[in-house]
A and B are shown apart, each in its own frame.
Chain A
Amino acid sequence: MKKNVKKAIVLGSGALKIGEAGEFDYSGSQALKALKEEGVYTVLINPNIATIQTSENIADKIYFLPVTPFFVEQVIKREQPDGILLAFGGQTALNCGVKLYEGGILEKYNVEVLGTPVQSIIDTEDREIFANKLAEIDVKTPRSFAVTSIEDALKASDKIGFPIIVRAAFTLGGMGSGFCSNREELIMRAENAFSYSNQILVEESLKGWKEVEYEVVRDAYNNCITVCNMENFDPLGIHTGESIVVAPSQTLSNSEYHKLRELAIKIIRHIGVVGECNVQYALDPYSEDYRVIEVNARLSRSSALASKATGYPLAFVAAKLGLGYGLFELKNSVTKVTSTFFEPALDYVVCKIPRWDLNKFTGVSKQIGSSMKSVGEIMAIGRTFEEAIQKGLRMVGQGAHGFVANHPLKDKDIKEELSEPTDQRVFAISDAMQAGMSVEEIHQLTRIDRWFLEKLKNITDLKSQLAAHNSLETVPNEMLKQAKMMGYSDFQLARLILKTPGEDIENGQLKVRKHRIAQGIKPVVKQIDTMAGEFPAKINYLYVTYNGNEQDVEFQHDNKSVIVLGSGAYRIGSSVEFDWCSVNALNTVNASGYRSIMINYNPETVSTDYDVCSRLYFDELTLERVLDIIDLEQPKGVVVSMGGQIPNNLAMKLHRQNVPILGTSPVDIDRAEDRQKFSSLLDQLKVDQPRWASLTTIDDIYKFVDVVGFPVLVRPSYVLSGAAMNVVSNREELEHFLNLATSVSKQHPVVVSEFIEEAKEIEVDAVAKDGEVIAYAISEHIEFAGVHSGDATIVFPPQKLYVETIRRVKRITREIAKGLNISGPFNMQLLAKDNDIKVIECNLRASRSFPFVSKVLKVNLIDLATKVMLGEPVEKPNKNLFDLDCVGIKAPQFSFARLQKADPVLGVDMASTGEVGCIAGTYDEAVLQSMLSVGYRIPKQNILISSGPARSKVELLESARLLKQKGFNLFATGGTHKFLTENGIENTLLYWPNEDKHPNTLDYIRDKKLDLVVNIPKNLSREELSNGYTIRRNAIDFNIPLITNARLASAFIHAFCKMGMEDIAIKSWEEYK
């Protein structure tokens, strides 16, 4: 029975961050679709402007406001909804919902929580309540005792039994924790732990236990199903977000599988969830003993994965259950005839692999463990485990070609890597196996179940057989077929059999392709139908496999289909914004009367939702797989400009195979991508650019620097370790960087560019047709050039550019569009100093800022670009940035808190994991709104300024004066203290962390006496870095808002001194014109 709900608020999850990423765009979009289908008027609160859920036609009304109790209450007050959904916006939405409930806000405005009651959420969030709650129904949780003496610790160990883990309470980073296997070890450990804390936790150790998850659904009639179970490849001890995960479980017997399933249902009933919940177990690898580790009473990363893995629309169904429906009353959207009350049967195996970007950070520990560091994930589908994992390792996109045929790990102790895993563990297993280490030994070191290891060994065993051949003709077809069934790519085969060197690998792999096609070794397309073929399904959710010989679908070669290539795993530099572009391209393809085909493999996306396209290939974006699909589908053309760099990089390769690429010609794409060619074009057009050179010797680098002067931007083509590029301001730094991080040679030239200080950075997002610009958006960065455009705070329309600058930028844009004969989307980055404009780069594809500018301008640039590419008629929009009565600001979201030890400083390499975009009536309001949306708080009283170089000191002077006027207490480190005092601004000196004097910055941070820390790095000198680093890192670890850029600090300070939180207008997107 459906509840009478007319209007409901849905809370989003805000910016993408580690632990809370694109999966909530998918969940939220599904929930909104479900509500819309039921005629419920939906109001979405989410400042993440790049998401699909914050698009027209998904929610009825959108507020780009922070998901915090204050703002949500304001929206409730204004909108007067009947209901609110808390389960679709991750922990952010859940926490906010709990606070609204506890604060009596929901009751005050008579808003009903649709779905799981808040009390049930509270019961699962608090560890102690949770353990007690489960004890009521005889369900086991890990045994744990909090003790304050060695004696009590020993008593606790008597109750628990060894092995035991000791944790010091209230410490960061697991200091004082460790395993003990007997009383003596426990005494030693406990003594050590008590030196950190006066309370320690004595817990039973579950190290090495299997980690298994169930996704459970319950309706208001108490009917329950488990949609999927999943088994972690990595045993307990590694966060499930950091683990390779397979679905369904592979090593569980029927009785284990169903014992845990039965418990999951018992738990969800007892807690009283209505909708979806996730139960995580530890399962003893030597018996059927288990512990419940965690219950998440909301949609989660795992539930998004389960949805993609099974085809069961969990979020969609959960939203409908929240409205009061029973599972049996809803239809299975795959079969259209059966109901949602069933459990999917899989006839394939999926493998999820995390994507880390730890190389982007300085100082971060690469070890993986109980906290999450990965920024994205992929899902691979196969009909053997070998096929799925090899596909998956390629999809992760960090240079691996599968489980084998990669470059061996460098400078790694394999045994250490196996027992103390980093992000490279799976490749350490590969190296170990190829070096002859036994499955048993690897198992002992990793505790990974032997079954997984044996399957991996099948891959390395076959590798040796393949590598024994030197020509394709001598490889028996049986063996070739077997290799493909184990997920070997043509690339791997070229490398192993043909021994093709790297520079010729494209030809090598095409040779393999030609040979195997001639031998009739071709893949087939299978459906994901939720029923393992038991019932007919008209489902368009597909994958490609070599383990089968019948196609599940037919191919219409009518020139009416268009392939859009997606963006792959979310990573730093490419995330939900490219999914927005891809989905919008699909929408336009559909609306133009073509069948849309999406290829992508990221389970956290909307583009991999089978209801947004005519066909979804959940598969690789490699040349091989894309060609396979093109051979089968024979589309009208392929769109490579929506999914960011991955499809962009395929453009030329596909073009060489005569694949029709829609839009700008790949030859022109190459002219923009190739630095030398692009530079010549700019010279030809008489457009200025920073001086640069590609150099192959250290001497040449010095000669170049003598001409252009420091600072310079150094971009090596081959990186040994650390950051891929850097700005260096003197000879010492240059030497340091070149010695440490790069190798310079003929094969690996280094690109050195002049770096212009205090220049404004400008972005252009535009669409052209046959070289003529149709629409454009110019935005400016708040920070000066030098901060990566993905980490910069971007203002659109620009508020502080000269009209002359804008005019010149427009002219350059037109000239470049013409020069490259662009048809489709493109993005340019430029520098401006005193109306002097230089072009930094130009990408002939959609960019990160397309959704932001499209939504602020209310002109969908992707729709226009797609129409251009399809050859549909387009009209120039009758609106441009000068017509806007509002300001949009896009601000980056950082996840430094999750990345222990990483230096939270910004540079030329991107470090942010997400972004928000807010729209407001004034610049200050937009700054404040966006800063609050990414987690900054308006300081109450105390602000520390450590303003770095002289330039920043001057820059911040005005801000300091303003703060003082507003009654804030200022604290400053040495130089800043002197400078401010000299300028008549009263402030208190705090000593540097390395000075043994008080009051010390560190004490102030650790005692949480500061409300905001402004720390501007001065230079790269070691002492400066170390002192600054300690301040920055501690600010992050103690959850004190930190700003490291002077221009941004000024903007923020100015904004909160001019207005308060309550002055922010509560206005929806449609109200801004």
Chain B
Amino acid sequence: MTYICVKFNQEKMEILVCISKTPETTAKIAFTDGGKNFDTQGVQFIMNPYDEWYALVRAIELKEQLGGKVTVINVGDAASDIVIRKALAIGADEAVRVDVNPQSAIYTAKQIAEYVKSNSFDAVFLGKETIDYNGAEVGAMVSEYLDLPYFSFASNIETDGLKSRITRDVEGGVEISEVEGRFVLSAAKGLAEQRIPNMKGIMMAKRKPLNVIPAVGEDDSLEIISYDLPEGKSGVKMIDPENMDELVRLLHEESKVI
């Protein structure tokens, strides 16, 4: 009897966290072959901050609180292994990499959904968006493939593993919803505090499993034809600090924003 009481209303959670790699923010953006391809030379790649700081850390916190397991998944080639190892060092238990370089969000989502279908999870966590292509798309697509409720831009989640109460950012405020059972969530700022991997974590990460699996289906919905650089500012006009009337005049007459 007592055992049942202890377990009452609390379930272990198995969470899948989707992690992606993006160019480090200060990286110089350049293109080769007349704007056809992104020039990765000299570019350092990092784990997408929303995936690392918020989605992954909150999943680990929930595992620590309720028991269970955190698995990370990446759709990418072997160049992603470095960010996967970092996720394991921060505290994920195991990792899987779908060995393909995706060209579209829908193809990425399809790979993640297929993995969830053959390995059941209680929840799927993603970042709110990748900081390179800023699509904020994959989460919605994964939830559609799995026919699960989706909470985009979550800044808070309380759960006992069965019933969850989630706060999501909307324009000018927040929306608080409740859901029973499985769901997909994308993480925004506020969901957790960043964790820095320690030496022990880094050592342990080397022994944790990283399974590489093949991709399914065709990636045929989108292609990037070319890139270009946006026109820059034509140069700053310096205004005399004593003459704010002049600035107001320019804002009104020249740039017509007031």
Q: Do A and B come from one complex?
A: no
